[in-house]
């Protein structure tokens, strides 16, 4: 007489969704990086070219580094944060085909894409920071934990803003056209090129609404204690993240019926 096979307790919905997100992240990582070093090089080339270009421009025109910050460190904190924002803010690739699978929702795709870009660009950021410190032989960040948390907040802001845009676009598709202007013009209102301390107060009053600007300023404050930002406010960033999360989740859930099959 054979032993009875014990009944297997069904997995909870949360467990299933977590495994699904992990699978999507691994799938995206393989797609992004590939099986050779060329994928990794491709990820590094674009930010490296931008940082190198501005490094040459600053050097050729003998422009002083803002607030006495080491030039490479200053460029890395700004441009790497911007690349992370752009990647998390963008629409997940291949989303329409993946939605045909059971248990798959647009929210799963957006979370997986945000986690993937967070993982990739955290690695890229640490690599660039290490390179900047070795080349310039400058002091390491005064508060490394605060630096990386401020950097990660950029990913959260980008992902939540992208969630809001994607949800609204289901009802008003023309909203998707606004992504490109934000990604092109946002450079000039986020403190990448000019710190808050070097921004005229009349202009700074209008730029203070941008939580991404606050995150970058918080990162530079944590790196260089001598730099005191007139703008950085961690609580403002947290409030913006909370509002974007609540509004985005409500919109995402309420607009699913408008998804075209």
The model's confidence at residue 11, banded by pLDDT at 50, 70 and 90, is low
Mean pLDDT of 197-204: 86
Residue 15: predicted pLDDT: 76
Condensed to tens digits (0 to 9), the pLDDT of residues 102-129 reads 667 778 888 888 999 999 999 999 999 9
Give 238 or 92, the one with higher predicted confidence.
238
Condensed to tens digits (0 to 9), the pLDDT of residues 46-91 reads 888 998 998 888 877 766 666 678 888 899 999 999 999 999 998 7
How far does CA 42 lie from the centroid of its chain?
A: 18
183 pLDDT more than 70: yes
The model's confidence at residue 213, banded by pLDDT at 50, 70 and 90, is very high
95 pLDDT more than 80: no
4 pLDDT more than 60: no
Alpha carbon distance 122, 130 (integer Å): 12
Spell out the residues 6+ positions from residue 72 whose beta carbon is closer than 8 angstroms to its own.
Answer: 51, 55, 131, 132, 135, 136
Mean pLDDT of 220-235: 90
Domains of the chain by residue range: 15-258
Condensed to tens digits (0 to 9), the pLDDT of residues 230-255 reads 889 999 999 999 999 999 999 988 98
How long a stretch of residues is the chain?
Answer: 261
Residue 161: predicted pLDDT: 94
Which residue, 187, 239, 243, is CA-closest to 216?
187
157 pLDDT more than 80: yes
pTM higher than 0.95: no
35 pLDDT more than 80: no
In this structure, the number of other CB atoms found within 10 A of the CB of residue 143 comes to 14
Residue 215: predicted pLDDT: 95
**Residue in this structure with the two tokens 């606004």, named with its chain if needed:** 178
Alpha carbon distance 114, 251 (integer Å): 18
Condensed to tens digits (0 to 9), the pLDDT of residues 128-143 reads 999 989 988 888 888 9
Residue 62: predicted pLDDT: 62
1 pLDDT more than 50: no
> Token digits for 75?
């460029």
Q: What is the mean pLDDT of the chain?
A: 84
Share of the chain above pLDDT 70, in %: 84
- In which element (H, E) is residue 80 found? helix 71-89
């Amino acid at each position: 007489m054979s032993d009875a096979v014990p009944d297997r307790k069904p997995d909870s919905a949360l467990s299933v969704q977590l495994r699904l997100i992990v699978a999507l992240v691994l799938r995206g990582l393989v797609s992004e990086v590939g099986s050779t070093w060329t994928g990794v090089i491709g990820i590094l080339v674009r930010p490296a070219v931008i940082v190198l270009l501005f490094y040459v421009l600053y050097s050729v025109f003998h422009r002083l580094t803002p607030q006495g910050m080491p030039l490479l460190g200053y460029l890395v904190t700004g441009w790497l944060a911007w690349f992370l924002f752009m990647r998390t803010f963008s629409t997940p690739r291949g989303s329409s085909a993946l939605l045909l699978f059971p248990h798959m929702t647009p929210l799963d795709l957006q979370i997986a894409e945000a986690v993937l870009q967070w993982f990739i660009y955290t690695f890229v950021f640490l690599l660039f920071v290490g390179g900047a410190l070795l080349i310039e032989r400058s002091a390491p960040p005064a508060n490394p934990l605060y630096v990386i948390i401020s950097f990660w907040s950029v990913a959260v802001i980008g992902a939540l803003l992208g969630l809001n845009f994607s949800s609204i676009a289901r009802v008003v598709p023309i909203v998707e056209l606004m992504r490109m202007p934000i990604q092109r013009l946002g450079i000039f209102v986020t403190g990448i090129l000019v710190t808050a301390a070097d921004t005229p107060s009349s202009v700074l009053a209008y730029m203070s609404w941008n939580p991404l600007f606050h995150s970058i300023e918080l990162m530079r404050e944590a790196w260089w204690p001598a730099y005191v930002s007139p703008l950085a406010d961690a609580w403002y960033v947290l409030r913006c993240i909370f509002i974007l999360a609540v509004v985005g989740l409500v919109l995402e859930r309420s607009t699913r019926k408008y998804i075209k099959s």
